Chain A
Amino acid sequence: MNRINKKLEANKKLLSIYFTAGYPSLNDTVSIIEELEKNGVDMIEIGLPFSDPLADGPTIQASSTQALKNGMTTEVLFNQLKDVRKSVSIPLIIMGYFNPILQYGVEAFCEKCKETGIDGLIIPDLPVDVYHEEYQAIFEKYGLINVFLITPQTSIDRIIFIDSISKGFIYMVSSASTTGAQSGFGEEQTNYFERIAKMNLNNPQVIGFGISNNDTFTQATKYAKGAIIGSAFVKHVTENGITTIDKFVKSILN
């Protein structure tokens, strides 16, 4: 069983953390993963940096630009991760834009993910219909779970379609925004969270965008299986380096 599915069966609310690979320093990748697992995080999204991250706000844009300057590439990332499964058992997801994956070769990329022990992928600009028609068979051949996004504007029919081809969880974008926006959830968001929860989808939902502290984490996980923190974590390592990750995780979970 895929580690993501196994984790989703756990009887608890899940905390997933996103970080940009190669940031703040090129070789921080594995240390960050180990530190996150040690402090009780449930899932990790490893951001493969891209020059033109359309769905990201200023924090993740800046970390991506810096990571690329530091020398991060697809090849370097796979090299850094080649022994990661010797030290951690936490589900690992690579989150990246489609062009770098396309240039690496979609099948070669998937094969390398399997070899490395990556469990799933989130590719925001690979539309669900293109995935379904062209790439699903390849992803599944290498046992990878592809995670799709839904937003407050996604129609019911489309949510049902996305649910039907998802094999892990659905990434619920909390509001119409790029990453790292807003503070706190209003009535509009909680109505949307409730609406989706009531649909009783086959796949559990994990909420992302706009989760930054214990308060927003608690609010989101009232309606969903888990929540994802990205920009707030990247901001934390920007300001504090990677030695106080324990403090950050504690501040969310307590």
Chain B
Amino acid sequence: MKLKVCGMKYQDNIEQVAALQPDYLGFIFYEKSARHFEADNMPELPKSIKKTGVFVNADINLVIKKINKHNLQAIQLHGKESPEYCKQLRQENIEIVKVFSIKDEFDFSVLTPFEDIVDYFLFDTKGKLPGGNGYAFDWTILNNYPSTTPFFLSGGIGLNQIDDINKFKKSVASKYCYALDVNSKFEIEPGIKNISDLKIFKNNLISTIMNYNVNEKGYYGEFGGAFIPEMLYPNIEELRQKYLNVMAEPEFIDEFNQLLKDYVGRPSPLYFAKRLSAKYKTKIYLKREDLNHTGAHKINNTIGQILMAKRLGKTRIIAETGAGQHGVASATVCALMGLECIVYMGEIDIARQAPNVARMKMLGAKVVPALSGSRTLKDATNEAIRDWINNPVNTHYIIGSAIGPHPYPDMVTRFQSVISEEIIWQLKEKEGRENPDYIVACIGGGSNAAGTYYHYLHEKDVNLIAVEAAGLGVDSGESAATSVLGNEGIIHGCKTLLMQTKDGQITEPYSISAGLDYPGVGPMHAHLCKTGRAEFMAITDEDAMKAGLELCKFEGIIPAIESSHALAIFEQKTFKPSDIVVVSLSGRGDKDLENYIDYFKI
């Protein structure tokens, strides 16, 4: 987020503030303001700082005069300026920021006439004065922001708001927030800014926080985007334009939460694993996604997406599946809503996951074998995408992981973020604090990890550990450790890390766990890996299977083999006795019995 410091008045103070390199400096050209800029000249400023003139119902000729005289790069209009007025100023080739004041509610339709005319909106607190009232409005009003025009957030922002801003940044409302605008809360007296406070604010909030959320173009750093054939463009574009608005509708939120509670059985427990903790001499908590209806975290996403599909007016659902967990979760919600469901599954997976194939059929889904390529998850995904190309109008594709073209990775992550949302209050109840020291999750495409990390992404004191499947060993040629073996490329519509030949042909991964047997990772995880925000570890089949069996014997819980990978890190990494380590137990092991039986000759 950019920073604008407004209400600059005095020469020395301007230079001191400029030295902190904010993105915008505001000069108020309004005589009634205590911060009215009266000086004849502005000091020379670095080119990176945009000089912004602030006006209130000023004569347009005066505005143009000031633009030319002070070489302004932006203007901010605080009065009742009309769209025509703004349009006229467009010819001056500068950025235009139109201000709207918000009190307890706001009618967003007043923005519409300005949409294509101004560059930014600025939302300020409605008070007696046109700006500078010194207190904040209720930012949750912006949850319903219907536009994609970036905006400045203003009104009473000071050092005390840092926590609120961090929360705001994680909320839907901040999606199009381009900049923070500060003024009176950083003043010694009107027009004189407190340099040390501004420095603290900037260091704490603006410069040191790396953004791990998706940006408006669908990228996490350099990863993400939507690399799709034109045939899919209308579908993806419709979803991109609507998903945030739909997810912010109060009725949608109510219906989603209600189903998670009554149908899925949420909140899932956060369980203190006493005997396991004693063995590894640290405090281990298990987030019990395995107790969800259908046996894994996958259902959180399919519930969200089926509600999304209904709101988009879709009547036919397609999904891909590897081991069958996402296929079962998709078939389940389609049965719940009475929608047609077609699940693509690799021919080889169909043969080795018979119980899940039967489940899907019992739930009314049609299971279509993917016969191309290696006939596993990657090819099932290709077939689902091809189906969507052939049925663009009535069909919604429920992608099961935090992968695919934007907005899928972000949408799936948001539906799964209920996992970390619950951990926050559950841990507070149990330990008196919201943040654990470590969060551990296994990663195939990465949806359970994305949801388990989500609300902790920007909490610097929480270490994130991502556990990939090493298969028979990272160097064995039979592995799915994408962060080690992969490099940047495009798979299933997004730019991310994937396993491929030097020629760019996507290769076949291997893992004993079908859910981790994917040659890519979601773009958010590629970014977390590249920036070092998350530590990536690779666990072999053997170590995972042992850890799975250990959980059975120590805690009476049979985990999915995917989740066993996350549990296996305790043999490899030592934690302090005081550390709190939360492990996402993403699924239960019923589906893997055959594998466990074969492996341990039970």
Contacts and interface: CB of A to CB of B under 8 A. Distances in A.
Nearest to B505: A51
Contacts of B385: 54
Interface string B485-527: 0000111110000001011111100000000000000000000
B390 A178 contact: yes
Contact of B504 (A103, A126, A176, A181): A103
Nearest to B488: A102
Interface stretch (B36-44, B92-100, B228-236, B476-484): B228-236
A57 B506 CA distance: 18
A65 B230 contact: no
Interface string B202-230: 00000000000000000000000111111
A178 B386 contact: yes
Contact of A125 (B228, B390, B503, B506): B228
Interface string A96-134: 011111111000000000000000000011111010000
Interface stretch (A153-161, A192-200, A235-243): A153-161
A189 interface: no
Contacts of B389: 54-55, 176-178
Contact of B231 (A58, A97, A99, A149): A149
A51 B373 contact: yes
B324 to A, nearest CB: 21
B22 interface: no
Contacts of A148: 230
Contacts of B226: 127
A49 B481 CA distance: 26
Contacts of B489: 99, 102-103
A68 B505 contact: yes
B372 A99 contact: no
Given A52-B373, A54-B386, A125 B229 contact: yes
B230 A149 contact: yes
A127 B227 contact: yes
Interface in B346-384: 372-373, 378-379, 382
A54 B382 contact: yes
A203 interface: no
A153 B234 contact: yes
Interface residues of B, number: 33
A154 B225 contact: no
A154 B230 CA distance: 8
A176 B491 CA distance: 22
A173 B504 CA distance: 26
A68 B504 CA distance: 12
Q: Which of A57, A125, A128, A181 has the most CB of B within 10 A?
A: A125
B444 to A, nearest CB: 17
B392 interface: yes
A163 to B, nearest CB: 13
Contacts of B372: 58, 61-62, 65
Interface in A45-74: 50-55, 57-58, 61-62, 65, 68, 73-74
Contacts of B502: 103
B490 A125 contact: yes
Q: Which of A61, A101, A104 has the most CB of B within 10 A?
A: A61
Interface residues of A, number: 42
A176 B227 contact: no
Nearest to A74: B503
A124 B234 CA distance: 15
Contact of B233 (A65, A74, A102, A127): A127
Contact of B392 (A74, A149, A176): A176
Nearest to B489: A99
Given A65-B372, A125-B227, A153-B392, A99 B386 contact: no
A150 interface: yes
A100 B505 contact: yes
A23 to B, nearest CB: 15
A191 to B, nearest CB: 16
Contacts of A75: 503
A154 B237 CA distance: 11
B391 interface: yes
Nearest to A126: B227
A224 B492 CA distance: 32
B133 to A, nearest CB: 41
Contact of B230 (A99, A101, A124, A178): A124
A164 interface: no
A153 to B, nearest CB: 4
A149 B229 contact: yes
B227 A98 contact: yes
Contacts of B379: 52
A101 B391 CA distance: 29
A104 to B, nearest CB: 7
B159 to A, nearest CB: 38
A124 B229 contact: yes
A151 interface: yes
B234 A55 contact: no
Contacts of B500: 99, 103
Nearest to A151: B231
A228 B445 CA distance: 37
Contact of A173 (B225, B230, B386): B230
Contacts of B225: 130
Contacts of B234: 153-155
A102 B498 CA distance: 13
Contacts of A53: 382
Interface in B297-311: none
A139 B393 CA distance: 34
A173 to B, nearest CB: 6
A147 to B, nearest CB: 11
B435 to A, nearest CB: 38
Contacts of A99: 489-491, 500, 504, 506
A65 B231 contact: no
Contact of B386 (A57, A65, A102): A57
Nearest to A162: B230
B236 to A, nearest CB: 9
A150 B390 CA distance: 14
B391 to A, nearest CB: 7
A253 to B, nearest CB: 28
Contact of A52 (B230, B231, B491): B491
A234 B386 CA distance: 19
Nearest to B391: A176
A55 B504 CA distance: 17
Given A55-B386, A99-B491, 8 more contacts: A52-B379, A54-B386, A54-B492, A73-B503, A103-B500, A103-B504, A151-B231, A158-B233
Interface of B: 225-231, 233-234, 372-373, 378-379, 382, 385-386, 389-393, 489-493, 500, 502-507
Going nearest first, the 5 A-B pairs with the smallest beta carbon separation are A103-B504, A100-B504, A149-B230, A51-B505, A55-B229
26 contacts: A50-B504, A52-B382, A52-B492, A54-B382, A54-B492, A55-B389, A57-B386, A58-B372, A62-B372, A65-B373, A99-B489, A99-B500, A102-B490, A103-B489, A103-B500, A103-B502, A124-B229, A125-B227, A127-B228, A130-B225, A149-B229, A153-B393, A154-B233, A176-B389, A177-B389, A178-B389
